[in-house]
A = this chain, B = another copy of it.
Amino acid sequence: MRVGDYACIDLDREARTGVPEVVLAEGKTLPQLVGIARAMVGKKGRAIVTRASPEALDALSRLPFSKRKHPDAGMMVLWAPGFKAGRTGGTVGVLSAGTSDYRVAEEARLIAEELGCRVVVAHDVGVAGVHRLVEALGRMRRSKVDVYVACAGREGALPTLLAGMVDVPVIGVPVSTGYGIAGRGRSALYAMLQSCSPLVVVNIDAGFVAGAVAARIAHGRRGR
């Protein structure tokens, strides 16, 4: 479906892949962003917007739809009246290594929830004090987590340790914290890719991707 001369919405993506098209706010002008969000709510009943600046969130707030806002994560979800997301089932465990990784972990959480999963969360459980991870993991295991999303912004060892302790898939998400050499998440990305534990990885700050793939995995683990 064409929107203005600048966008072409892929209306079948959710049917084809199980994951709806999500609107990345960065790189779009405000009129483009608002136009696309309005079109998606109109055609699909829901628009999920990520990486939105405060200005973008303001502009979206003026649209006449129901909303779920998470400014710390730069996200907003807008619904048409009566929209009802499906419950695909499955449980996702989301962990962050430090308070600075909060926003990305929350992005993964919201996406997985919007895709119909239950999510359990533990923030600030990095490996400089490994006992915090052990405690969080005990709680998560009791929730029968199907897949873990582990967000870490500096040395990136959290997903490695986790993958050495559990028997379900682990997705590592590097976060763009850290200064100096290989800062802004590159150090964490490299460490996760070099990990000796079996681990899959997404781009730096890509909470959306991690949440979406986690939902796909969690869904499967409950049976189709």
Query: Could you say which interface size class chain A belongs to?
Result: 35 or more
Contact A99 B132, CB 8 Å, known A187-B193, A202-B200, A220-B146:
no
Contact A161 B216, CB 8 Å, known A132-B8, A155-B192, A187-B191:
no
Q: How near does chain B come to A13, taking the closest CB pair, in angstroms?
A: 6
Question: Which residue of B has the minimal Cβ distance to A153?
Answer: B27
A124-177 with Cβ < 8 A to chain B: 124-130, 132, 146, 153-157, 160-161, 163-169, 171, 174, 176-177
Establish whether residues A8 and B194, one from each chain, have CB atoms under 8 Å apart when the complex forms.
no
Q: Kindly state whether residue A76 has any CB partner on chain B within 8 Å.
A: no
State the copy count for this chain. Answer: 8
Chain B CB within 10 Å — which of A122, A129, A157 has the most?
A: A129
Q: Give A32 to B34 CA distance when docked, in angstroms.
A: 31
Which B residues are CB-close (under 8 A) to A213?
169, 198-200
Contact A191 B128, CB 8 Å, known A99-B7, A177-B27:
no
Question: Which residue of B has the minimal Cβ distance to A12?
Answer: B129
Chain B CB within 10 Å — which of A198, A204, A216 has the most?
A: A198
Which B residues are CB-close (under 8 A) to A28?
99-100
Q: Give A8 to B196 CA distance when docked, in angstroms.
A: 14
Which B residues are CB-close (under 8 A) to A185?
180-181
Beta-carbon contacts of A200-224 to B below 8 Å, as 1s and 0s? 1111111011101100110011011
Chain A residues with CB under 8 Å of chain B are: 5-8, 10, 12-13, 16-19, 24, 26-29, 32, 36, 51, 72, 98-100, 102, 121-130, 132, 146, 153-157, 160-161, 163-169, 171, 174, 176-183, 185-206, 208-210, 212-213, 216-217, 220-221, 223-224
Q: List 10 A-B contacts (CB under 8 A).
A: A10-B129, A17-B165, A19-B167, A19-B198, A155-B196, A180-B205, A180-B206, A182-B190, A187-B190, A188-B194
